[in-house]
A = this chain, B = another copy of it.
Amino acid sequence: MNEFMKKLSLTKPIIQAPMAGGITKPRLASAVSNQGALGSLASGYLKPELLEQQIKEMFELTDAPFQINVFVPLGLEMPPEDQVKKWKENIPLANQVNQFTPVQEEWDDFYQKIDMILRYKVKACSFTFDLPPEDAVKELKTAGCCLIGTASTVEEALLMEERGMDIVVLQGSEAGGHRGAFLPSKGESAIGLMALIPQAADALSVPVIAAGGIIDHRGVKAALTLGAQGVQIGSAFLICHESSAHPVHKQKIREANEADTKLTKLFSGKEARGIVNKWMEEKEHYETQTLPYPYQNTLTKAMRQQASLQNNHDQMSLWAGQGIRSLTEEMSVKQLLHKLCPEDIKI
């Protein structure tokens, strides 16, 4: 039992990663929370009204603590018109986009979501993509909400602690999905957990959580040995019965091996780890020329949606971490949690 588990009244030192884009819904998150781990709703790409529905549903399904993850909007400049035009010609269905959502609108949604978290007294709130703004942090802390930041490097983790985060999730290079890196770095900001955990644990005072490539109790124990107080798991929950991930996405994860994934900006303009597919292979040479997030993401949206409807893995974003060789079986959340943590830890 440790500070992280105490803060969130958990019996298992495990967070189910908030996976946006319709993967984590109340069914998955409540199943996790009901087993004594931390279930997560992912509010990224979700309008506030839809998030409110999910929160209500969540309270019907569990009395246990859960968290809501919020994307911090990036105020990046609109890309030049000729670059947008080039990509519109290169991405199927991208011509449907007439204009991009103004950043102000995303900030409005962000604050509506924070208000909702306060109103519904949600136990914990996590942030991805950047440091959360100070006013939101202050309000949430005053209300007693537990705040969780996401960091790729020790420097980012230290800034998260300074901003008032109660817990910092360390995203290792092994992790699937979008990278949470928000600072420029001289070299690669994707650091393997074996090196990242002890270096961050030594530098920070708040609990750190390890995310990336963890598949069973060996990984959980190793992360705790390295200095983490818990782990965050994505891909293994993604293929659970209770997950709403696309069946083709689940199947591809069950089939793929550890060297089948790579970091790519092609889908969203932000680095994310996914299983290499036809779209990534075809556009490989444009990897350094993508539009910044969220613009690239907006342009690929219709293509990805159509691919999902057609069960076409060639043009879907098949996010997955490097532990996937071992993920061959779809199981229940209860079975997975038993695999990760055979015995409850008494608090």
Contact = CB atoms under 8 A, between A and B. Distances in A.
A199 interface: yes
A135 interface: no
Interface in A243-295: 257-263, 275-276
Contacts of A193: 192-194
Interface string A185-207: 11111011111101100110000
Given A257-B154, A263-B188, A194 B221 contact: no
Contacts of A257: 153-155
Interface stretch (A26-34, A62-70, A308-316, A322-330): A322-330
Contact of A198 (B191, B216, B260): B216
A219 B194 contact: yes
Nearest to A325: B199
Q: Specify which of A154, A198, A257, A326 lies most central, judged by the most chain B CB atoms within 10 Å of its CB.
A: A198
A223 interface: yes
A56 interface: no
A213 interface: yes
A322 B260 contact: no
Contacts of A322: 191-192, 195-196
A222 interface: yes
Q: Specify which of A203, A222, A223, A326 lies most central, judged by the most chain B CB atoms within 10 Å of its CB.
A: A222
A153 B195 contact: no
A48 interface: no
A221 B223 CA distance: 10
A242 interface: no
Nearest to A220: B225
A263 to B, nearest CB: 7
Nearest to A181: B259
A326 B194 CA distance: 12
B258 A199 contact: yes
A189 B263 CA distance: 12
B187 A275 contact: yes
A73 interface: no
Contacts of A323: 194-195, 198-199
A18 interface: no
A214 B187 contact: no
Given A186-B276, A187-B262, A195 B221 contact: no
A174 interface: yes
A185 B259 contact: yes
A186 to B, nearest CB: 5
Nearest to A288: B285
Contacts of A221: 225
Q: Specify which of A221, A259, A260, A326 lies most central, judged by the most chain B CB atoms within 10 Å of its CB.
A: A259
Interface of A: 152-155, 172-174, 185-189, 191-196, 198-199, 202-203, 210, 212-216, 218-219, 221-223, 225-227, 257-263, 275-276, 321-323, 325-326
